[in-house]
Amino acid sequence: MSTRPVIAQRGDTLRCRGWRQEGLLRLLENVLEVGERPEDLVVYAAIGKAARDWPSYHTIVATLKRLGDDETLVIQSGKPIGVFKTHPLAPIVVMANTNLVGRWATPEHFYELERRGLIMWGGLTAGDWQYIGSQGVIQGTYEILAQVAREHFGGELRGRLVLSAGLGGMGSAQPLAARMAGAVMLVVEVDPERALQRVASGWCDSVAEDLDEALARCRAAQVRGEPSAVALIGNAAEVYPELARRGVTPDVVTDQTSAHDARYGYVPPGLSPDQVVELRERDPAELERQSIAAIAAQVEAMLAFKDRGAVVFDNGNNIRIQATRGGVARAFEIDIFTERYLRPLFCQGIGPFRWIALSGEPDDIALIDDLALASFPANALVQNWIPLARQHIPFQGLPARIAWLGHGERTRLGLLVNAAVRDGRLRGPVAFTRDHLDAASMAHPYIGTEKMRDGSDAVSDWPLLNAMLNCAAMADLVAIHSGGGGYSGYMTSSGVTLIADGSPEAEYRLQHVLDADTGLGVLRYADAGYGLARQAARDADLDALNL
């Protein structure tokens, strides 16, 4: 274990041989600074880690400090393997996390390899050091709720009740996003300490230990027409069925517990988080059995809400898969949020783009906010989101921002920021990255690529091609991830990071990588037969060979 908390370096003092290496080191430190259990190297999602173990972490840090611009560090599932002489435009880091041959990509095989210290799960943005705290999830959650409002409620969620569960590293985004969308949220959390932390940090308004009390607070806020978020201490597998039994029908229902992992994530009724740890050690199969049964009960209640007219969707945690294992035949009548609400954006290469001020100066993000607002007046997502984020979202760790930008827009902003670093308007370099849930970078038949028009849901060539193309385009970090724990066998994705340090070389990388990254996303959907993507490819003059 680390002898002190890991805090990302701020300021202009370099510990490495250049800003490319220093920037990646600060991002590694940052994911632990804002992570869920940094003492265990866990960033989010129960077991999503930044490095395999502490010796690996310290070796990565030491290696980044000595790495030259013409060298590349190779990392395998969070463990540094070697340094190779490449060339000054090659990636500084390439990594692969949790990639198992198909027949072996099972939770059981993953857990055994993890127990033996041979593998780790990097999540989506944990293992490649791209997580920026709850803001990244808040923005995506907000955009989903905004689309739900436009499609189902005349563009307005004020006075509407949203039900969800889970206040972990990902789920904690939900209450603030719901309030920003104007809704009233009841969010169920099994861990009292975690719920209290979310209130203390401003994500939730209050904590209730009784369902009647929680409902009374929600109803009062609905009557007042005021956004509010109430955390209820309880178990979703008990609260959801109880609400259904009482005839309470929320307007919108989802879930963001760690239901994807029945061994390390979900807490069955009757067990405290500490008791779960004990049962996991003593009888992991029994813990999984209880978790699957509980998830099934929760999803049955979600289906009951749907039957009564609620808008119900899977928020990407594999809860429908787990419910199917528990015997819920109708689980896939619940929509997945990506296919239902976000696919038109992906067709245009629009997705969650992020930038992080490596200086640690909030004013650097303020300046980039202004650049984005001035540069993209026709992008309604940016024009709406950035003022909201400025008002409601405190920075965690290194100051950062996320916004949904598409093909061409990301490149333009990257070049503007690099110029601002060069001429001194920004106090330091800026890192650019994105969520793995992007147009070209994910194959997940039950999340990002569910119900593809041409049936290519499970074709994982696309994220692999995305990673190879980003290496060819000279990104600073490129990663290929597959699912771990309960996600094993369900997904492959790729991540990319670029450091804008004001140099001509950074400008060259930004131009090529950002164009390639989003351009492949447009072509992925164009190839699948989406007319919107084909038009976007023509509008951008992409060199598409099969349109």
CATH number at residue 148: 3.40.50.10730
Q: Which of these three, 276, 308, 333, is where a domain ends?
A: 333
- d(CA 136, CA 356) in angstroms, rounded, equals 11
Instruction: Give whole-number Cα distances, 432 to 94, 271, 293, 400, 444, in Å.
Output: 16, 42, 42, 10, 24
- d(CA 244, CA 258) in angstroms, rounded, equals 22
- d(CA 498, CA 536) in angstroms, rounded, equals 25
Contacting residues for 184 by C-beta, under 8 A, at least 6 apart: 159, 160, 161, 162, 178, 218, 221, 222, 226, 227, 228, 229, 230
Q: Give the pLDDT of residue 2.
A: 57
Across the strands, what pairs with 95? 75, 479
Q: Give the pLDDT of residue 3.
A: 64
**Is 257 in the same domain as 356?**
no
In this structure, is residue 86 part of a structural domain? no
Write the CATH number for 400.
3.40.1770.10
In this structure, is residue 532 part of a structural domain? yes
Whether the CB-CB separation of 221 and 206 falls below 8 Å is answered with no
**Is 367 in the same domain as 393?**
yes
Note down the domain range covering 168.
135-333
Tell me how far the alpha carbon of residue 469 is from its chain's centroid: 22
Q: Give the pLDDT of residue 480.
A: 98
Q: Which of these three, 333, 359, 378, is where a domain ends?
A: 333
Instruction: Give whole-number Cα distances, 148 to 11, 128, 192, in Å.
Output: 41, 31, 30
Q: Give the pLDDT of residue 201.
A: 84
Strands, E assignment, 270-369:
311-314, 335-336, 351-357
Helices within 234-272 (DSSP H only): 236-246
Whether the CB-CB separation of 267 and 235 falls below 8 Å is answered with yes
Please list the rounded mean pLDDT of every run of 10 residues in the chain (547 residues).
Answer: 84 98 98 95 93 98 98 98 98 98 96 96 96 89 94 95 92 91 97 93 92 98 96 97 98 94 92 91 95 97 98 94 96 94 95 97 98 97 95 94 96 98 98 96 94 97 98 98 94 98 98 98 98 97 90
Whether the CB-CB separation of 206 and 185 falls below 8 Å is answered with no
**Angle, helices 380-392/135-152, rounded to nearest 10 degrees:** 130
Contacting residues for 246 by C-beta, under 8 A, at least 6 apart: none
Tokens encoding 270: 């009757």
- d(CA 456, CA 468) in angstroms, rounded, equals 20
Q: Give the pLDDT of residue 547.
A: 79
In this structure, is residue 517 part of a structural domain? yes
In this structure, is residue 113 part of a structural domain? no
Across the strands, what pairs with 410? none
In this structure, is residue 513 part of a structural domain? yes
End-to-end CA, the chain: 53
Q: What is the sign, positive or negative, of the torsion defined by CA atoms of 164, 38, 132, 336?
A: negative
Give me the DSSP letters along 443-504.
E-TTTTTTT-TTS-TT-THHHHHHHHHHHHTT-SEEEEEE--GGGTTT-EEEEEEEEE-SSH
- d(CA 87, CA 72) in angstroms, rounded, equals 8
- d(CA 501, CA 23) in angstroms, rounded, equals 9
Instruction: Give whole-number Cα distances, 90 to 76, 78, 85, 411, 466, in Å.
Output: 18, 20, 10, 19, 16
- d(CA 249, CA 143) in angstroms, rounded, equals 23
Q: Based on the structure, what is the number of domains in the chain?
A: 2
- d(CA 545, CA 547) in angstroms, rounded, equals 6
- d(CA 10, CA 186) in angstroms, rounded, equals 37
What backbone phi and psi angles, to 5 degrees, belong to 460?
Answer: -90, 5
DSSP 40: G
Q: Which of these three, 313, 333, 353, is where a domain ends?
A: 333
- d(CA 80, CA 85) in angstroms, rounded, equals 15
**Is 326 in the same domain as 348?**
no
- d(CA 434, CA 436) in angstroms, rounded, equals 6
**Is 199 in the same domain as 217?**
yes
**Is 302 in the same domain as 374?**
no
**Is 447 in the same domain as 400?**
yes
Q: Is 121 helix (H, G, I), strand (E, B) or coil?
A: strand
